[in-house]
Amino acid sequence: MKKIVITGGAGFIGSHVVRLFVNKYPEYQIYNLDALTYAGNLANNEDVSKASNYHFIKADITDAEEIDRLFAEHKFEGVLHLAAESHVDRSITDPLAFVKTNVLGTVNLLQAAKRYWNGQFEGKRFYHISTDEVYGELHNPEEFFLETTPYDPRSPYSASKASSDHFVRAFHETYGLPTVITNCSNNYGPNHFPEKLIPLMIHNIMHNKPLPVYGKGENVRDWLFVIDHARAIDTVFHDGKIGDTYNIGGFNEWKNIDLVHLLCKIMDEKLGRPTGTSTQLITYVTDRAGHDLRYAIDANKIMKELGWQPSLQFEEGLEKTVDWYLTNEKWLNEVTSGDYQKYYTNMYQGR
């Protein structure tokens, strides 16, 4: 497989996948297809932007004609589909944007792959990157999400991702499209947009701003370092079984409030502030509507069948993440000021 399109490659996880593939597989041509919404940032791809096997295409997956045209022009043989609207809070205020990109956009890509590959599926692969949120929430502390757990999405975001997963499976069952799906737990790490919990808290601690904890902070999330997710994506893309699903996670559950306390401790140390300074910024705010109580992934299948393992302990990954934000203050400031959107104009003018 030589020509691979990665959708959403200017976003958080996508940029780590693009970096891994461009550097690890010089024999592949990597096409980063991204609409550069508020979440897309070409600064995330700056280090690979000059590589001879890297290409950027600004395109919107909701535009079916354009997606068809791009498949015909570039003859993609592999698809890694990450482009999505990804923030639960935004899905609560604007559910339709999530239907358009996550459902319609995914079906446009499936249709284009089906049309262009035209039954010649040898050496082709359509890989859909999804979330554990499709399984709903857990109440019993003994329970984990398995690949066989029935879907029970509870937010507009997770409902749209569940729907896109169903379409991917339907295209495999109905047309034989060579698909594979993974459902991953919450990611954290460098390049994470500061609307999500961990980068938002880091940003606010740096600037002495309140740390908004939803409800009582009792909700539990299962955190995985983004580079470990990218490594899992590489493994599944190459070795995953066609038509199959794999859950990805690091068996690493944290109550939000405990995680925020840990971040405060790490940041106080790094910033040379007296212990306890940042915890004073914690502010309990109105809970998110329909806030899922607990996510927890059972990742035994991918570990046993494909031999993938997370490489980092959480405390180590969190420290690396904090260090990245402290040394990349420019990135953070540009993202929070909106200046990052100038990158497209500067780097790709006239192309």
Question: Active-site residue numbers?
Answer: 132-133, 157
Q: Which is nearer to ligand TYD, 200 or 242 (CB)?
A: 200
CB of 346 to ligand TYD, least distance (A): 30
Cβ-Cβ contacts under 8 Å for 126 (sequence gap 6 or more): 78, 79, 81, 109, 110, 113, 168, 171, 177, 178, 179, 180
- Residue 154 CA to its chain's centroid (Å): 19
31 binds, among ligand TYD, ligand NAD, none (CB under 5 to 8 A by kind): none
Closer CB to ligand TYD, residue 113 or residue 299? Answer: 299
Tokens of 292: 């899922």
Q: Which residues bind ligand TYD (CB under 6 A)?
A: 88, 186, 196-197, 200, 212-214, 219, 221, 256, 288
Out of ligand TYD, ligand NAD, none, what residue 37 binds, judged by CB under 5 to 8 A for its kind, is ligand NAD
Closest residue to ligand NAD: CB criterion: 11
Nearer to ligand TYD, 108 or 182 (CB): 182
Q: Does 292 bind ligand NAD (CB under 6 A)?
A: no
Question: Min. distance of Cβ 58 from ligand NAD in angstroms?
Answer: 9
Asked if 82 is part of the footprint of ligand NAD (rule: CB under 6 A), the reply reads yes
**Pattern 3-42, ligand NAD, x by CB under 6 A:** ----xx-xxxxx-------------------xxxx-xx--
161 binds, among ligand NAD, ligand TYD, none (CB under 5 to 8 A by kind): ligand NAD
Q: Which of residues 87-106 bind ligand NAD (CB under 6 A)?
A: 101, 105
**Is 193 among the residues that bind ligand NAD (CB under 6 A)?**
yes
* Residue 184 interacts with which of ligand TYD, ligand NAD, none, CB < 5 to 8 Å by class: ligand NAD
Nearer to ligand NAD, 116 or 145 (CB): 145
Applying CB under 6 A, the site for ligand NAD has a residue count of 31
Footprint of ligand NAD on this chain (CB under 6 A)?
Answer: 7-8, 10-14, 34-37, 39-40, 60-62, 82-86, 101, 105, 129-131, 161, 184, 186-187, 193
